[in-house]
Amino acid sequence: DAGVTQSPTHLIKTRGQQVTLRCSPKSGHDTVSWYQQALGQGPQFIFQYYEEEERQRGNFPDRFSGHQFPNYSSELNVNALLLGDSALYLCASSLGQGKDTQYFGPGTRLTVL
């Protein structure tokens, strides 16, 4: 049974560029949440997708957007990258809009130069 998978594992971009990160949830899970984790900090909630819609959003600008596909996989898009967007981006999957345990993927390390 595959756990949560994310791609790519590492990414280097320059300021102003756009990036797309991908997440496949654990088998049987229908909800995907995205988190940003800066170095030495706890993960911060970006948004959650359930039934192909954004259900909740954290305190992140509109440059951060996402999508969920019918197979429950999800993408996180970040436009107009800033140096401060450099972080580990984590995807967590769960069942039933997140009230069940959330299981995290290995993350994508994004570096913005």
Partner 1 sequence: GQSLEQPSEVTAVEGAIVQINCTYQTSGFYGLSWYQQHDGGAPTFLSYNALDGLEETGRFSSFLSRSDSYGYLLLQELQMKDSASYFCAVLRNQGGKLIFGQGTELSVKP
DSSP strand E in the chain: where?
A: 5-7, 10-13, 19-24, 31-37, 44-50, 53-57, 64-68, 74-78, 87-94, 103-104, 108-112
User: 51-80 mask for partner 1 (x: CB under 8 A)?
Assistant: ----xx-x----------------------
Considering the rule CB under 8 A, would residue 42 count as an interface residue with partner 1? yes
Considering the rule CB under 8 A, would residue 22 count as an interface residue with partner 1? no
Q: How many CA atoms lie within 13 A of 25 on its CB side?
A: 29
Residues within the interface to partner 1 (CB under 8 A): 4, 31, 33, 35, 40-45, 48, 50, 55-56, 58, 88, 90, 92, 94, 97-107, 109
